[in-house]
Amino acid sequence: MANPLYDGLFGIHAGKTTPFLHLVDGQVITYQDFLTTSAQIANVTAQLDLNPGDRVAVQVEKSHEALALYAACAQAGLVFLPLNTAYTVDELSYFIENSGASLIVCDGKSEAELSAVAEELGAQIKTLNADGSGTLMAQARTMPKSFSTVERQGEDLAAFLYTSGTTGRSKGAMLTQNNLLSNAQTLVKEWRFNADDVLLHALPIFHTHGLFVASNIMLAVGGSMIFVPKFDLDQIIDWMPKATSMMGVPTFYTRLLGDSRFTRELAEHMRLFVSGSAPLLAETHAQFEKRTGHRILERYGMTETNMNTSNPYDGERRAGTVGFALPGVELKITHPDTGETLPDGEVGQIEVRGPNVFKGYWQMPEKTAAELRENGFFITGDLGKIDEDGYVHIVGRNKDLIISGGYNIYPKEIELVLDDQPGVLESAVIGVPHPDFGETVLGIIVPENRVAPDVDATMEAVRQSLARFKHPRKLVILDELPRNTMGKVQKNILREQYKGMFAS
């Protein structure tokens, strides 16, 4: 193939006039419409003198044009860098600078602030709004409706996704064409997708779940998607009778179960419900099956690898587990200190190897060497075990990463803001169970001189500095943080102490 990713997901649909995207306003975008738009955008990138391998940083609302921008980058051999729409300009500056992005595509309302960043870093800037307006599409509509696909190899980079660790700056995970294409093709087979499927798509497309899992799968089979801008309970219930499948985070399913309109009859024609990005409570599994007769299929993936494991399509979908390693993926449980493989039933760190595993962290060779072994196994940072039947259980993380509503949250980043506030001596940020989001953020602060700081002012500072999904749901004041003999804060004690704070 001249360009494995483009040819395998997009080019195969050239000339097809069947529906690809059903928009909530009633508009239908055919495959031909979509590929025409993406070709026109690719022509814009060529006119801007972008070259294969250049990075395109994108922070825009979900739209069919935004998805076409991803296709355009694939066709032009550019590296697609989607960014969370909640990120502040301060946060974006790091991603843009670190990636060396040549082009920034943003919402029109962010253009003024980001223009200064673009100018400082030597990047060009275009706008794309949720309704398809903006300078990108204005230029694209004047472009030819075809574009000569740039030749790329399977090991060439296709995307960057920035991921959070527990120390240091966010890392740019480098994903190749083969990483993305192989995972989509594997999931098509494992989850039995075909051209007749209609996926109810309410996930964001700046995240691997909505973009590289949901969208890539449907492109691979030539199916169609109901493209809902975001999870809206009324729209989900209205559109579900026209769908055959749905992918979501646990929050989607708890909210559906909280609405009396979500009945067995509404879901009876659905073929598959998939959940991921955060652990699904066993109680939610049970309630969902009782209500609908469907058993949610839970899987396990991450930014650096896309999907690693899945509960079976045929066979027992076991609550509290993430199923088995996908075909072509090797998974083992190892001792965190020695790296030796542990027997089934013992808890250790999860390591994976396969065509889905990323190439490394952008310009971070030490981080890459620390987490990606020379033999190809990636140390995920998750703790797990394999039971007697071969099901993989994730029992925790050996990092302090918080996953709330499917989003990764980096505690240190929040702690730095809290520690900088007047009256705060130090802080600790932890994730605690939440019935809707899986986990939510709890901030614990120790006051200076035992005088309680202004909590409202502290929270306002957080709101100004960080995206909304990172904001602590509550701030707790303690006289001191628990520490071990080496002086390290024992967050496990804090998590245990506050685990019931937001229980339903």
* pLDDT at 421 exceeding the cut of 70: yes
Task: Give the pair of three-digit tokens for residue 186.
Answer: 């594997």
Spatial contact of 478 and 409, defined as CB atoms under 8 Å apart: no
pLDDT for 212 equals 96
Q: What is the C-alpha separation between 254 and 431, in angstroms, rounded?
A: 19
Q: What is the C-alpha separation between 122 and 137, in angstroms, rounded?
A: 22
* pLDDT at 166 exceeding the cut of 50: no
* pLDDT at 341 exceeding the cut of 90: yes
Residue 184, classed as helix, strand or coil, is: helix
pLDDT for 66 equals 98
Residues 295-324: tens digit of each pLDDT: 999 999 999 999 999 999 999 999 989 999
Residues 8-39: tens digit of each pLDDT: 999 999 999 999 999 999 999 999 999 999 99
User: 118-132 b/e with 16+ CB inside 10 Å = b?
Assistant: beebebbbbbbbbeb
pLDDT for 164 equals 57
pLDDT for 5 equals 97
Residues 56-84: tens digit of each pLDDT: 999 999 999 999 999 999 999 999 999 99
* pLDDT at 485 exceeding the cut of 60: no
Q: What is the C-alpha separation between 91 and 93, in angstroms, rounded?
A: 5
SS3 for 124-179 is EEEECCCCCCCHHHHHHCCCCCCCCCCCCCCCCEEEEEEECCCCCCCEEEEEEHHH
Q: What is the C-alpha separation between 64 and 67, in angstroms, rounded?
A: 5
In the predicted model, what is the mean pLDDT of the chain? 93
pLDDT for 167 equals 45
* pLDDT at 281 exceeding the cut of 80: no
Residues 172-199: tens digit of each pLDDT: 999 999 999 999 999 999 999 999 999 9
Q: What is the C-alpha separation between 216 and 66, in angstroms, rounded?
A: 14
* pLDDT at 227 exceeding the cut of 50: yes
pLDDT for 486 equals 41
In the chain, what are the domains? 4-264 (3.40.50.12780), 402-498 (3.30.300.30)
Name, in order, each residue with C-beta under 8 angstroms of 142's C-beta and a sequence gap of 6 or more: none
- What does the pLDDT average to over 214-223? 98
Spatial contact of 379 and 351, defined as CB atoms under 8 Å apart: yes
User: 282-292 b/e with 16+ CB inside 10 Å = b?
Assistant: eebbeebeeeb
Q: What is the C-alpha separation between 262 and 55, in angstroms, rounded?
A: 42
Number of residues that this document lists for the chain: 504
Q: By CB neighbour count within 10 A (0-12 exposed, 13-18 middle, 19+ buried), where does 361 fall? A: buried
Angle value at C-alpha 357, between 433 and 398, nearest 5 degrees = 35
Single-letter amino acid code for the residue at 77: G
Residues 129-155: tens digit of each pLDDT: 999 999 999 999 999 999 999 999 999
- What does the pLDDT average to over 321-350? 94
Q: What is the C-alpha separation between 381 and 402, in angstroms, rounded?
A: 12
pLDDT for 284 equals 86
The closest alpha carbon to 212, from 245, 186, 235, belongs to 186
- What does the pLDDT average to over 389-418? 82
Edge-to-edge strand ranges of the sheet holding 124-127: 124-127, 103-106, 55-59, 79-82, 157-163, 171-176, 360-361
* pLDDT at 400 exceeding the cut of 80: no
Edge-to-edge strand ranges of the sheet holding 324-325: 28-30, 19-23, 224-227, 198-201, 245-248, 272-275, 297-302, 306-310, 324-325
pLDDT for 205 equals 95
Angle value at C-alpha 486, between 485 and 487, nearest 5 degrees = 90
Task: Give the pair of three-digit tokens for residue 463.
Answer: 């709101």
pLDDT for 168 equals 54
**Sign of the four-CA dihedral 423, 427, 430, 432:** negative
- What does the pLDDT average to over 76-104? 94
pLDDT for 382 equals 87
- What does the pLDDT average to over 209-232? 96
- What does the pLDDT average to over 391-411? 80
The closest alpha carbon to 74, from 144, 13, 15, 150, belongs to 150
pTM of structure: 0.83
